[in-house]
Chain A
């Protein structure tokens, strides 16, 4: 469902800038767009004789077909459950408790409530010459929906830490020393290069400017959009400003 401003952009999509603005606008999903996406997915499930999914949207199987036909190795289904403070973060799509973790959520772990990530893997048997993966994808997403539902139930019942439930998982360890070593070496390299070109002060300035930009962009974005959307730095600010601009444009064209 395109807004009026998006339709205008779409009609002028010949130029690269318009195309970029259109993609930007489509990515800055407004409340109405998201709501209609969920409704459309639910309707699609019913049409295909499935119970509507509560935890996931339906997959875009047509767009994935090209990938399925070209990848030579194994195709694996991944269902990720994010847990924080004993609560499932990616719970029901329409639940007010749903939290979409971003880089800020991860970093906030230093404050005492780190995120736990549970990865469910399952090999998918898909023939290379598959022409219609709709059923395979829908079955797979039905399974993902039930995995997340089970997670939600386990956490609500307080049984997620039980031995029987946790026995299915193996921890993926990270070597803190190795990561710290890389960070130190990297910082040293930057300092050495800074000294070598006699621009150590420029490095310090660059970091200060970056810090200011990251902080202000996130703060403005969060204030405009009432949520943090930082999958990559600056995303919250950029998307929120675009969404705000589109909304203002739509309102203006309505009043005209």
Chain B
């Protein structure tokens, strides 16, 4: 009897060991799968952003820079330049937003669609937003481009931004925003910025080109890295 009991104990201990090793293997496997998935997602993100850059670079090189040069050489009037760049922006916007905003499943909701429709219909409007993310500009562009607002429909409208001067020097998107989108770039010096703002807004009013202007009056995104918390 004793030997039987010892055998049973040894057997169960062996089984427990096997089960434990199986569980460990399963955990390793699921961890491996998770790591693989996160790696695949990261690669997708790099691909999506590269494609975004590629598309914008193409539009900038083939359409944006020629338009800008024609405008600078005074062959195009400011009115025509703004009109053509609006066409170009409406052509580029869906390809900028396609992967990050649409295919990734991002969902947008608004509490006052009527007000949004009014803002889009008016010649110029100013939207003062909190600065809780680095994608406020994409949300702004999406809202400007959206035509189906619940039960209401409206036209897409050009969206401009008041942003830090550094953005215009960043490759591709920064150059596009500077040369095509005619955003307002501020150096955070009242003397210099006031005239830039006035001239930019006046150009759009004179050309009767509709635009929604986005500004985050906070000016800074509070974004601590994990190292900061450590």
Contact = CB atoms under 8 A, between A and B. Distances in A.
A93 interface: yes
Nearest to A82: B133
Interface string A105-122: 111111100111111111
B161 to A, nearest CB: 11
23 contacts: A31-B224, A34-B224, A37-B222, A59-B217, A60-B217, A63-B193, A64-B217, A67-B215, A73-B125, A73-B126, A76-B119, A80-B132, A100-B221, A107-B49, A108-B41, A111-B37, A111-B44, A122-B115, A170-B110, A174-B108, A210-B53, A227-B224, A227-B225
A66 interface: yes
Interface in A133-191: 137, 140-141, 144, 148, 166, 168-176, 178-180, 182-183, 186, 190
Given A20-B166, A37-B220, A75 B126 contact: yes
The residue among A56, A116, A169, A231 with the most chain B CB atoms within 10 A of its own CB is: A231
A79 B130 contact: yes
A175 B105 contact: no
Contacts of B193: 63, 66
Interface stretch (A21-29, A44-52, A248-256): A21-29
Contacts of A180: 98
Contact of A73 (B94, B104, B122): B122
A144 to B, nearest CB: 5
Interface in B178-197: 186-188, 190, 193-194, 197
Contact of B111 (A62, A66, A168, A230): A168
A107 B48 contact: yes
A141 B128 CA distance: 10
Interface string B127-145: 1111111111111001100
A234 B193 CA distance: 26
A140 B215 CA distance: 14
Interface of A: 19-20, 23-24, 26-27, 29, 31, 34, 37-38, 55-64, 66-68, 70-82, 89-90, 93, 96, 98, 100-111, 114-124, 137, 140-141, 144, 148, 166, 168-176, 178-180, 182-183, 186, 190, 193, 206-207, 210-211, 214-215, 218, 225-227, 229-235, 238
B149 A172 contact: yes
B49 A172 contact: no
Given A80-B130, A118-B109, A227 B223 contact: yes
Contact of B52 (A19, A123, A190, A233): A233
Given A172-B110, A226-B226, A211 B215 contact: no
A213 to B, nearest CB: 8
Closest 4 CB pairs of A and B: A90-B132, A109-B104, A226-B225, A59-B217
B174 interface: yes
B119 A73 contact: yes
Given A76-B128, A106-B138, A117-B139, 6 more contacts: A73-B124, A100-B133, A114-B106, A121-B112, A174-B97, A182-B91
A208 B193 CA distance: 39
Contacts of A169: 109-111
A55 B174 CA distance: 28
Interface string B37-74: 11001001111111111110110001000000000000
A171 B107 CA distance: 8
B54 A210 contact: yes
A210 B51 CA distance: 8
Contacts of B136: 80
B76 interface: no
Nearest to B121: A73
B14 interface: no
B132 A62 contact: no
A57 B71 CA distance: 39
B7 interface: no
A23 B154 CA distance: 38
A72 B150 CA distance: 27
Interface in B187-225: 187-188, 190, 193-194, 197-198, 201-202, 205, 213-215, 217-225
A140 B169 CA distance: 32
Contacts of A235: 134, 170
